[in-house]
Chains A and B, each alone.
Chain A
Amino acid sequence: MGSSHARSPSMLGFPRREKPRLRHLFIGLAVSEFSFALLWGSFRYLLIDAITQVLLVGQISLAKSLTSESPQLVVKLLDGSNLNLALTWQRSGLISITIFGLLFLFLMFPLEGPIWLKIAWLELGFIIGLTWSFIRLSIAVLVAYYFGAGAFAVAEFFTGPFTDFFWMVSVWSIGLSTLISAKHKRVS
Chain B
Amino acid sequence: MVLILYFTFMLLVVVMLFYLVRHYIFSLTALYSQNGQTHYTLHGLSFRPTVSILIPARNEEAVLSRLLQRITEFTYPKDKIEVILIDDSSIDNTGRIAEEFSKAYNYFKVVHRGSGVGGKGKSNALNDGLEHAIGEILICFDADYYPQIDIIEKLTAYFVDPEVGAVQGRITVLNEPTTLVSRLVALERIGGYRVDQLARDDLGLIPQYGGTVGGFRRDLIEFLGGWDTKVLAEDTDLTFRVYLAGYKVRYVNEAECYEEAVEDWRSYWRQRHRWAKGHMQCFFKHSLPLLKSRNLRLREKLDGLLLLNVYFVPILVGLSWLLGASIFFLWPTNWFESIWSLLPVFLYSSVGNFALFFEVGVGVYLDRRLRMSWLIPVLLLSFVFNTVICFKAFFDLTFSKIVGKNVHGWVKTLHNGGETE
Which residues on A are within 8 Å of B, measured CB to CB? 1, 4, 7-10, 12, 14-20, 88-91, 95-96, 99, 103, 106-107, 110-111, 153, 157, 160-162, 164-166, 169-170, 172-174, 176-177, 179-181, 183-184
Q: Is the CB of B329 within 8 A of A153?
A: yes
Q: Is the CB of B365 within 8 A of A111?
A: yes
Q: Is the CB of B342 within 8 A of A90?
A: no
Q: Whole-angstrom distance between the alpha carbons of A162 and B346 in the complex?
A: 10
Complex contacts, B194 vs chain A, CB 8 Å? 9
Q: Whole-angstrom distance between the alpha carbons of A64 and B33 in the complex?
A: 53
Interface membership of chain B positions 37-52, coded 1 if the CB is closer than 8 angstroms to chain A and 0 otherwise = 0110000000000000
Interface residues on B, range: 35 or more
Binding site secondary structure of chain B = helix
Which residues on B are within 8 Å of A, measured CB to CB? 24, 27, 31-34, 36, 38-39, 146, 172, 174, 176, 194, 253-254, 256, 258, 325, 328-329, 332, 334, 337-338, 340-345, 347-348, 357-358, 361-362, 364-377, 380, 420
Complex contacts, A183 vs chain B, CB 8 Å? 368
Complex contacts, A181 vs chain B, CB 8 Å? 370
In the complex, which residue of chain A has the Cβ closest to the Cβ of B33?
A17
Least CB distance from A65 to B in Å reads 18
Least CB distance from B27 to A in Å reads 8
Q: Is the CB of A177 within 8 A of B337?
A: no
Binding site secondary structure of chain A = helix
Least CB distance from B120 to A in Å reads 33
Least CB distance from B287 to A in Å reads 31
In the complex, which residue of chain B has the Cβ closest to the Cβ of A156?
B328
Complex contacts, B39 vs chain A, CB 8 Å? 10, 15-16
Q: Is the CB of B358 within 8 A of A180?
A: no
Least CB distance from A36 to B in Å reads 16
Q: Is the CB of B343 within 8 A of A161?
A: yes
Q: Is the CB of B368 within 8 A of A169?
A: no
In the complex, which residue of chain A has the Cβ closest to the Cβ of B334?
A88
Q: Is the CB of A90 within 8 A of B368?
A: no
In the complex, which residue of chain B has the Cβ closest to the Cβ of A113?
B365
Using known A-B contacts A1-B420, A17-B32, determine if residue A177 contacts B374 with beta carbons closer than 8 Å. yes
Least CB distance from B25 to A in Å reads 12
Q: Whole-angstrom distance between the alpha carbons of A173 and B358 in the complex?
A: 9
Q: Is the CB of A176 within 8 A of B364?
A: yes
Q: Is the CB of B31 within 8 A of A95?
A: no
Using known A-B contacts A8-B256, A14-B368, determine if residue A173 contacts B340 with beta carbons closer than 8 Å. no
Interface hub of A103, A173, A174 (most chain B Cβ within 10 A): A173
Contacts A/B (CB < 8 Å), 10 sampled: A1-B420, A14-B368, A16-B39, A90-B338, A153-B329, A172-B361, A172-B376, A173-B373, A177-B371, A180-B369
Q: Is the CB of A107 within 8 A of B328?
A: no
Complex contacts, A176 vs chain B, CB 8 Å? 361, 364-365, 373
Complex contacts, B365 vs chain A, CB 8 Å? 111, 176, 179-180
Complex contacts, A1 vs chain B, CB 8 Å? 146, 420
Complex contacts, A180 vs chain B, CB 8 Å? 364-365, 368-370, 373
Q: Whole-angstrom distance between the alpha carbons of A95 and B336 in the complex?
A: 13
In the complex, which residue of chain B has the Cβ closest to the Cβ of A86?
B334
Complex contacts, B338 vs chain A, CB 8 Å? 89-90, 95
Q: Is the CB of A91 within 8 A of B377?
A: no
Q: Whole-angstrom distance between the alpha carbons of A160 and B328 in the complex?
A: 11
Least CB distance from B170 to A in Å reads 9
